[in-house]
Structure formats: structure tokens, C-alpha cells
């Protein structure tokens, strides 16, 4: 897995092959390969080779890079930290640049990158950062390779996992960070399997080995090597590592055995990886065409039946669509009551806090009722706004939770559908269809701009000039206190409804996208299985063109 086992391709050859696959995908409506095709095209254009550090959250990925660079560049910590893809490479002068999802870029001092990369400063990537790019002159020795720090997988923070998995098609060399405790999980194995679709160069970085004594270390190393050998024929190189003093020889070993070689042969590696990616893509494209070919070869009378056997009866498809719709709509229907119940728990504490504060402020509002009214209105409006804003931030995770849950449910339902489709295709025609569901791209809901409603109706103002404050102070205080309670209640409802509106818009976008994906997948299979006998020759020619899209391999 470490060596590129295939003949490298040039950029021009790769782009030619991608053009052929693109044309076939358009003709046969194969939309499932869009993400992979785009990843390959971007990789073909890259000048440098990406060395990506991937793996479970808290495995020590960012710490490893800081240690390698000898500089506390990336934020690290005991809770999930990295929330944004960060690309670090050599540049003639120090530079840090934030690239936002809308394409805007902003240069920042490198000491401020934590404001964009870390989960505490940029929770759930609400700043909508696509990636952060850093150039450092001291990385001259790694010129030609580009390090990529990725958000940790498998934590409860799903957006982090999604950001990393979405990035996989662009991977060059992958270093999978595995902490010694636990040493290698099923998820790590799945990650390596998934990565092998995109690169032949995967290595394991066994982190935090300082917490073990020498005997334990060699036991863990043997265990990890044995496990990896169970899954892959070719050895996956293993690099023990520690950032603690006394373990510098591990850095030197990694540098000599992996990074320096990679750097010296970056161009060759790049070409080998590109070949690997395009070979995988061609193989997957060929599966679709083989399905079309087998369908075209059966009798016309059997074809309809065959399509049904693969795609399923109409009722089954309607049920699948209905399941997707219901998941989104059920969450939408219950959002308001859930949010109100959630905020109801804050009503008393907020009210008590404001009334206590009010009782401290009120004695100072002495001049006239008109002024007291104005002072009260300004004070209450600003206090309520700040309370609502902090509640909105504090409960954000709970407000957006239905969106995350539904996104996961829809993804799982669609992946189940794809798996069944592949099983049915194997049963009917002996052809597998390797399709995997891309994560949903619906943007995270943004927090609302908290609005506070009008505090008073204007009748009070008419009275306010007539009544001297000293006479009515007690009355006014009681009235104001009641007003505080009412305003808190009304604005909690308003906040619930603002979040409901935002969350429901996201849920409805998710529902729409899920149905579109299902329909587009069905359309692909229907198109493929509708191929008739007279199309056999053309499909064979297309399959041959897939086989010849790249110059032949040595192996």
C-alpha cells in the first residue's frame, strides 16, 4: 500500500481519461461519481502533493504537525479542537489566509488562525470557513509537499467528520493517526479501506507511544501490524511517534523513511496517486456500464422485470420516498414545541436575574416619569436582547440538533437503498454497484439576529408628563416588574419561533435534496437497465473505451 503499484500518468493523460469518464457519466446519467470525478480533476491540477493527517478525534494529529514543524502553529487540546481543514506548506514569507465557503479570502496573522480553526473560537464552523492556508519559510525542507491537518473523525461533532470525509477524494499521501489507547479501531480500518479508493499511499502514525513502556510499545505495534496485515496484502507502513522529549528519534525516522522520500519524489508520487484514483474511478464507471450491457443482453420481454428486480416495485420506491419525507417533516412539526419547552426552563432564571438588576437600576430613575419610561425601555430592551443572544448561543447545539439528526437519518436511508440496489444487481446480473452516499451539503443553520419586540404601547407616554414620579414610584415599580416578566415570556417565544423558522428551512432543504438524490439514482439505474438489444455494440464500445482510457498498466 505504500508504493505506487501502478504506472504513473501525466496530467494530460489523466485529464483525457476524466473527459471520457465525464462524457460517459453524462450519457448514462451516472451522477453518483460526480464527487469522485471532481476530486480527481482537482488533484490532477495540483502542483504539490498533499500529505493528509487523518484519524480519530484527539489522536494527536495537530500536535504531531506542531512537533514536526517545531512551532505551536495549530491549536491542540483535550476536547475536539480542529474544526476546519488546514493546509500548511512552504512559502517565501509567513502567510496565513482564511478561505471562506463563499470564495472570499482574508489574510490574518498566523497567531490568529485558532480564531478560525478551533471548535471553541469557531463552534461548528459558524464562520463558514472552507479551509485555512498557511505558508512558512521554515518549511523549505518540505518544499513540494503540503501538509493537511483535518478535523477528527468519530467525535460527537459530526460536522468535523463530514468536513474530513468530504475532503478524502483530494488526498495524496495519507497518514492515519492512531492513538495507542485504543490501538486501532474498526473505524480506523474502515478509514484506511475508504482511503485506498483514493490513494495507494497510506501509512499509520502510532501516536502517544510515550505513555507505554518499551514492552507494551512493541506489543501494541505487533497488534496493529497484525490487524493491518489481516486486511491488506501489502504492508501498511507503521510509524511510532511521540511529541514528548526523549522521542526525537521517531521524528527523524519518519522524516527519513517517509517525508524526505516523498518530498524527493513528489512528482512521481503525484503521478502514481493520480493513476490510482483514475483507475478506481474507471473501475467504478465500468461497473455501471456492465450493468447496462447485461441488461441489454436479456430478452426485451424480461427487461422490464429485470429493472423491477433491481430498482424495486413502484410501491417500494414510493415507500422509500415517503420515509425520507416523513423523517424531515416529523422533525419540522415538533421543532416549535421542543424549542419552547427547552426555553421554558430559562424563563424563571432570566426573569429573576432581570428583576434583581432592575431593582438595582430603578432607584436611579428619579427625574420624571417620561425619563424613567425611556430609561426603563432602553435598559430592558438591551438586557433582553443580550439575554436572548446568549440563550441562542448557549442552546445552539440543541436547536440545530434536529437538522443533524435528520441529515444522518436521510443519509442512512439513502445508503441502505444503495446497498439494497447493489445486492439486487448482484442477484439479478452478478454486477456490484459500488456507490456511496455523499454527506449532505446543506449549510449549517445560522443563528438568528435576535429581535426584541416593542416594550410599551404609547398610551403611557400621554400620562407620563402629567404624573410626578415621587407620587407614583411604587405603582411604576410594580408595573415595570410585571413588564419585565411579560417581555421575557414574549421574547422567549419569539426566539423559539425564530429558531423554528431557521431549522425548518434547513429541514425542508434536506428533504428536497434527499428526494432529488433518490430520484437521480433511480433515473440512473432505469436508464442503464433500459438499454435494449441494439445498444449492445455501443455499450461494448463504451466499456472498451473505459478500458483504454489510460495507457495500459504494467501489472
**Are residues 328 and 511 in contact, defined by beta-carbon separation less than 8 angstroms?**
yes
Q: Which does 244 bind (CB under 5 to 8 A by kind): ligand GTP, Mg ion, none?
A: ligand GTP
DSSP 301: H
Binding range to ligand GTP, per CB under 6 A, among 58-66, 93-101, 254-262, 279-287: 58-66
> Is 523 an interacting residue with respect to ligand GTP (CB under 6 A)?
no
Indicate which of Mg ion, ligand GTP, none lies near residue 210 (CB less than 5 to 8 Å, by partner kind).
ligand GTP
Residue 22 binding target from Mg ion, ligand GTP, none, CB below 5 to 8 Å by type: none
In angstroms, the CA 430 to CA 426 distance is 4
Among 50, 199, 201, 207, interactor with ligand GTP by CB under 6 A? 207
Report, in Å, the least distance between residue 271 CB and ligand GTP: 30
Q: Which does 411 bind (CB under 5 to 8 A by kind): ligand GTP, Mg ion, none?
A: none
DSSP state of 153: B
Contact assessment for residue 484 and residue 348, using Cβ atoms and an 8 Å cutoff: no
**In which residue are the cell numbers 439513502 written?**
414
- Distance separating alpha carbons of residues 283 and 6, to the nearest angstrom: 14
Binding to ligand GTP (CB under 6 A): which residues in 223-282? 242-244
Which residue's CB is nearer to Mg ion, number 61 or number 303? 61
User: Out of ligand GTP, Mg ion, none, which partner does residue 59 contact, by CB within 5 to 8 A per kind?
Assistant: ligand GTP
Distance CA(17)–CA(12), nearest Å, equals: 9
Is residue 526 classed as helix, strand or coil in its secondary structure? helix
Could you give the 3-state DSSP secondary structure of residue 456?
A: coil
With CB under 5 to 8 Å by kind, the binding choice for 58 among ligand GTP, Mg ion, none is: ligand GTP
Q: Select the binding partner of residue 312 from ligand GTP, Mg ion, none (C-beta < 5 to 8 A, by kind).
A: none
Strands 202-207 and 173-179: parallel
Measuring CA to CA, how many Å separate 433 from each of 32, 296, 389? 10, 17, 49
Query: How far apart are CB 63 and ligand GTP at their closest, in Å?
Result: 3
In degrees, rounded to 5, the angle at the alpha carbon of residue 339 between the alpha carbons of residues 337 and 341 is 65
Question: CB of residue 202 vs ligand GTP: minimum separation in angstroms?
Answer: 17
Stretch that binds ligand GTP, among 203-211, 224-232, 252-260, 395-403 (CB under 6 A): 203-211
d(CA 512, CA 519): 11
58 contributes a contact to ligand GTP by CB under 6 A = yes
Q: Tell which one of 15, 43, 61, 169 touches ligand GTP (CB under 6 A).
A: 61
H or E stretch including 497? helix 469-529
Strand partners, 202: 174
Query: CA-to-CA distance for 147 and 50, rounded, in angstroms?
Result: 6
State the nearest-atom distance from the C-beta of 59 to ligand GTP, in Å: 4
Q: Is 210 in the site for ligand GTP (CB under 6 A)?
A: yes
Q: Does 403 bind ligand GTP (CB under 6 A)?
A: no
**Which one of 57-65, 305-313, 398-406, 423-431 is the stretch in contact with ligand GTP (CB under 6 A)?**
57-65
Spatial separation of the C-alpha atoms in residues 240 and 233, rounded to whole Å: 21
Residue 77 as a binder of ligand GTP (CB under 6 A): the answer is yes
Q: Where does this chain bind Mg ion (CB under 5 A)?
A: 61-62, 81-82
Q: For ligand GTP, which is the closer residue by CB, 54 or 539?
A: 54
**Residue from 32, 50, 62, 409 in contact with ligand GTP (CB under 6 A):** 62
Do 178 and 188 form a contact (C-beta atoms < 8 A)?
yes
Pairing of strands 95-100, 105-108: antiparallel
| Interacting residues with ligand GTP between 86 and 115 (CB under 6 A) | none
Q: How many CB atoms lie within 10 A of CB 468?
A: 9
Q: How far is the C-alpha of 262 from the C-alpha of 307, rounded, in Å?
A: 48
Among 59, 145, 295, 433, binds ligand GTP (CB under 6 A): 59
Alpha-carbon distances of 303 from 419, 519, 526, 529, 532, rounded to whole Å: 21, 20, 11, 7, 8
Least Cα distance to 21 among 292, 197, 290, 285 occurs for 285
SS3 content of the chain, % helix, strand, coil (to 5): 65, 10, 25
404: which 3 cell numbers?
A: 443533524
**Binds 280, which of Mg ion, ligand GTP, none (CB < 5 to 8 A, cut-off by type)?**
none
When the beta carbons of 76 and 293 are compared against ligand GTP, the nearer one is 76
| Cβ closest to ligand GTP, residue 58 vs residue 263 | 58
Instruction: Tell me which of 6, 48, 50, 82 binds ligand GTP, using CB under 6 A.
Output: 82
Nearer to ligand GTP, 81 or 429 (CB): 81
Compute the least distance from the CB of residue 367 to Mg ion, in Å: 57
Binds ligand GTP by CB under 6 A, chosen from 94, 156, 211, 333: 211
Pick between residue 86 and residue 425 the one whose CB is nearest to Mg ion: 86
* List of residues contacting ligand GTP (CB under 6 A): 57-63, 76-78, 80-82, 151-152, 207-208, 210-211, 242-244
Amino acid at each position: 500500500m505504500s508504493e505506487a503499484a501502478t504506472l504513473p500518468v501525466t496530467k494530460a493523460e489523466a485529464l483525457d481519461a476524466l473527459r471520457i469518464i465525464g462524457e460517459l457519466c453524462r450519457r448514462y446519467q451516472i451522477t453518483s461519481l460526480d464527487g469522485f470525478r471532481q476530486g480527481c480533476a482537482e488533484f490532477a491540477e495540483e502542483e504539490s502533493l498533499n500529505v493528509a493527517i487523518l484519524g480519530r478525534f484527539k489522536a494527536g494529529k495537530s500536535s504531531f504537525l506542531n512537533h514536526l514543524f517545531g512551532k505551536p502553529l495549530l491549536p491542540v487540546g483535550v476536547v475536539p479542537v480542529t474544526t476546519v481543514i488546514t493546509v500548511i506548506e512552504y512559502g517565501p514569507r509567513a502567510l496565513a489566509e482564511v478561505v471562506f465557503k463563499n470564495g472570499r479570502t482574508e489574510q490574518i496573522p498566523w497567531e490568529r488562525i485558532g480564531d478560525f480553526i478551533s471548535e471553541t473560537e469557531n463552534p461548528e464552523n459558524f464562520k463558514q470557513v472552507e479551509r485555512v492556508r498557511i505558508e512558512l519559510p521554515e518549511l523549505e525542507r518540505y518544499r513540494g509537499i503540503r501538509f493537511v491537518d483535518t478535523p477528527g473523525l468519530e467525535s460527537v461533532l459530526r460536522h468535523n467528520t463530514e468536513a474530513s470525509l468530504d475532503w478524502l477524494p483530494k488526498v495524496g499521501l495519507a497518514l492515519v493517526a492512531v492513538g495507542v489507547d485504543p490501538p486501532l479501531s474498526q473505524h480506523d480500518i474502515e478509514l484506511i479501506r475508504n482511503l485506498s479508493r483514493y490513494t495507494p499511499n497510506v501509512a499509520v502514525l502510532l501516536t502517544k507511544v510515550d505513555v507505554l513502556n518499551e514492552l507494551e510499545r512493541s506489543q501494541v505495534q505487533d497488534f496493529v501490524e497484525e490487524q493491518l496485515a489481516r486486511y491488506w496484502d501489502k504492508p501498511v507502513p507503521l510509524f511510532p511517534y511521540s511529541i514528548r522529549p526523549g522521542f526525537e528519534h521517531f521524528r527523524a525516522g519518519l522524516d527519513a523513511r517517509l517525508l524526505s522520500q516523498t518530498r524527493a519524489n513528489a512528482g512521481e508520487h503525484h503521478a502514481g496517486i493520480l493513476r490510482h484514483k483514475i483507475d478506481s474511478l474507471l473501475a467504478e464507471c465500468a461497473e455501471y456500464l456492465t450493468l447496462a450491457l447485461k441488461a441489454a443482453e436479456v430478452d426485451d420481454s424480461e427487461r422490464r422485470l429485470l429493472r423491477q428486480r433491481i430498482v424495486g416495485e413502484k410501491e417500494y420506491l414510493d415507500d422509500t420516498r415517503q420515509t425520507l419525507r416523513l423523517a424531515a417533516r416529523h422533525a419540522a412539526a415538533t421543532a416549535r414545541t421542543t424549542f419552547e419547552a427547552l426555553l421554558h426552563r430559562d424563563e424563571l432564571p432570566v426573569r429573576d436575574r432581570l428583576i434583581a438588576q432592575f431593582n438595582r437600576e430603578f432607584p436611579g430613575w428619579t427625574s420624571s416619569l417620561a425619563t424613567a419610561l425611556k430609561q426603563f425601555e432602553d435598559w430592558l430592551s438591551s438586557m433582553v436582547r443580550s439575554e436572548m443572544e446568549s440563550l441562542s448561543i448557549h442552546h445552539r447545539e440543541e436547536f440545530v440538533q434536529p437538522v443533524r439528526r435528520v441529515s444522518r437519518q436521510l443519509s442512512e436511508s439513502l445508503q441502505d437503498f444503495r446497498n439494497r440496489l447493489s445486492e439486487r444487481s448482484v442477484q439479478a446480473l452478478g454486477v456490484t454497484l459500488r456507490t456511496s452516499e455523499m454527506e449532505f451539503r446543506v449549510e449549517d443553520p445560522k443563528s438568528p439576529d435576535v429581535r426584541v419586540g416593542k416594550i410599551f404601547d404609547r398610551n403611557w407616554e400621554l400620562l407620563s408628563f402629567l404624573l410626578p414620579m415621587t407620587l407614583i414610584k411604587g405603582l411604576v415599580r410594580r408595573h415595570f416588574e410585571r413588564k419585565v416578566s411579560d417581555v421575557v415570556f414574549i421574547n422567549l417565544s419569539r426566539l423559539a419561533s425564530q429558531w423554528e423558522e431557521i431549522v425548518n428551512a434547513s429541514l425542508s432543504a434536506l428533504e428536497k435534496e434527499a428526494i432529488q438524490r433518490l430520484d437521480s439514482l433511480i433515473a440512473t439505474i432505469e436508464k442503464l437497465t433500459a438499454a435494449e438489444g441494439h445498444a449492445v455494440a455501443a455499450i461494448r464500445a463504451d466499456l472498451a473505451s473505459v478500458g483504454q482510457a489510460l495507457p495500459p498498466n504494467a501489472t
